[in-house]
Amino acid sequence: MIHFNVPPCTGSEMIYIKEAVLNHKLCGDGEFTKKCSAFLQEMTKSPKVLLTTSCTHATEMAALLCDIKEGDEVIMPSYTFVSTADAFVLRGAKVIFVDIRPDTMNIDETLIENAITEKTKAIVPVHYAGVACEMDTIMELAARHGISVVEDAAQGIMASYKGKALGAIGDFGCFSFHETKNLSMGEGGALLIKDPAMTEKAEIIREKGTNRSKFFRGQIDKYTWVDVGSSYLPSELNAAYLWGQLENAEKIFNSRMAAWNCYHEVLKELEKQGKIEIPHIPEHCSHNAHMFWMKVKDVTERSALIAYLRQKDINAVFHYIPLHTAPAGIRFGTFAGEDKYTTKESERLLRLPLWYGLTIGEVEYICREIKRFYDR
């Protein structure tokens, strides 16, 4: 079976996990957490990066830092993972869903302004498949209306928009290091902070509402409870695993990109024949080969193709069910304007296997079987 995903492992991760154990430091903010944070800050040119227990928790921290309260509204696409909405609903916000662009599956930036009201507190662009939303337009809108931008860059590590790292453009950015992502620590994430003035509050939220971080830096004699917060620090074991990934980030990136490029080259013939659609990356965006998707005629054809590929030991999968159609989405949100593309395009999209170590031979086999499906 060619799996849809295999968690990345380069070999050095186990060495660093053993080192963390021998250091007798397993809780958060040890040597490996500091190394990872510094690496990510340099990679993204972000003033501050804090490792977290998940991207979900990074987004929850961003919601707290944006001071989201009961009655506020937050704009985002419906075609996203539930955590994007959950983080703001937990604070009492109403989610305003906006339609997507069919070319990138990202929020349609031209529809955002019509969804803004006096209650709007934040916009949450989701960089689907590591391809950037139109951030210039979104940032200009946010600045003009005085609202915050929280980038859901769960899939966006090592991708960029006009030379700027995804996650480091908005007021806050959120990375995921889940086992399904390009770089992994099993479960984990990171919060990127644009305004250095927000760093202290972020550290307090992350350290259970205490000023413990200042205490460990020797800036105060003792720490105490000063604000709301929770425990968002990942274990050093997770950070040690991530450090092994970050050291090999280019190697992992190149492996995934080779597979992505092979898919694109081989399947473009089917696209020319009008049988499928494949991704086309905007010129000003640099993607990270997080995902290779293709679109088929409709959900019936997709189900048939998934079943056919499974018979050939290939695990291809669909993706999100639009949040505005879910019970909680109906309860906690509303769709602004027409659902022209979100539902229709979500039912056409199919994701193909893509992971570090997937061979070109395996990609070519997958493509051959897809062609055979359409030649029947």
Q: What is the CATH number of the domain that holds 138?
A: 3.40.640.10
Task: Find which of 211-215, 216-220, 257-261 is predicted with most confidence, using mean pLDDT.
Answer: 257-261
Q: CA-to-CA distance for 317 and 303, rounded, in angstroms?
A: 9
Local confidence band at 262 (pLDDT 50, 70, 90 cut-offs)? very high
**In whole angstroms, how far apart are CA 353 and each of 6, 287, 290, 322?**
9, 17, 11, 22
Where do we find the tokens 């869903």? Answer: 97
Number of CB atoms found within 10 A of residue 304's CB: 12
Residue 214, CB-side half-sphere exposure with 13 Å CA sphere:
18
What is the pLDDT averaged over residues 32-39?
A: 98
203 and 325 share a domain?
no
Co-location of 77 and 158 in the same domain = yes
Residue with tokens 């996990």, as numbered in its chain: 17
Q: Tens digit of pLDDT for each residue in 322-341? A: 999 999 999 999 999 999 99
CA distances from 348 to 79, 273, 304, 356 (A): 13, 17, 12, 26
Single pTM value for the model:
0.97
pLDDT of residue 58: 98
- Beta strands 292-295 and 349-352, pairing class: antiparallel
Please state the domain count of the chain: 2
* Percent of the chain residues topping a pLDDT of 90: 97
- 6 falls within a domain: no
Which stretch of 106-110, 186-190, 210-214 has the lowest confidence by average pLDDT?
A: 210-214
**How much is the pLDDT for 249?**
98
Single out the residue in 220, 247, 274 at which a domain terminates: 247
pLDDT of residue 165: 98
Residue 52, domain member (yes or no) = yes
Residues 234 and 299 in one domain: no
Asked if residue 134 has pLDDT above 90, the reply is: yes
In terms of domains, do 239 and 318 share one? no
Which of residues 247, 281, 307 is at a domain's end? 247
pLDDT of residue 216: 77
- Asked if residue 271 and residue 157 are part of one domain, the reply reads no
Q: 37-41, 150-154, 219-223, 339-343: which has the minimum mean pLDDT?
A: 219-223
CA distances to 82, 122, 340 from 85, rounded to whole Å, are 6, 12, 21
Nearest to residue 276, comparing CAs of 285, 289, 263, 286? 263
pLDDT at position 218 is: 81
Beta bridge partners of 314: 2
End-to-end CA distance of the chain: 23
- The confidence score (pLDDT) of residue 221 equals 75
What is the pLDDT at residue 215?
A: 78
Asked whether residue 48 is domain-assigned, the answer is: yes
Using pLDDT thresholds of 50, 70 and 90, give the confidence band for residue 212. Answer: confident
- Looking at every residue in the chain, the average pLDDT score rounds to 97
Residue 26 lies in a domain: yes
Q: What is the pLDDT of residue 327?
A: 98
Flag whether 123 is in a domain: yes
Co-location of 242 and 110 in the same domain: yes
pLDDT at 337: 97
CATH number of the domain to which 324 belongs: 3.90.1150.10
Residues 89 and 237 in one domain: yes
Task: Judge whether residue 195 has pLDDT over 90.
Answer: yes
Looking at the structure, tell me whether residues 258 and 201 fall in a common domain.
Answer: no
Q: What is the pLDDT of residue 305?
A: 98
pLDDT digits (tens, 9 = 90+) for 63-83: 999 999 999 999 999 999 999
How many angstroms separate the Cα of 107 from the Cα of each of 191, 195, 297? 21, 25, 22
Q: What is the pLDDT of residue 190?
A: 99
Among 318, 162, 181, smallest CA distance to 253 is for 181
The residue from 228, 247, 266 where one domain ends is 247
Q: In the chain, what's the furthest Cα-to-Cα distance?
A: 74
Alpha carbons 326 and 314: distance in angstroms, whole number: 29
For residue 38, pLDDT beyond 90: yes
Within this chain, do residues 263 and 237 fall inside the same structural domain, yes or no?
no
Beta strands at 172-176 and 189-193: parallel, antiparallel or unpaired = antiparallel
pLDDT at 219: 87
Owning domain of residue 317: 249-375
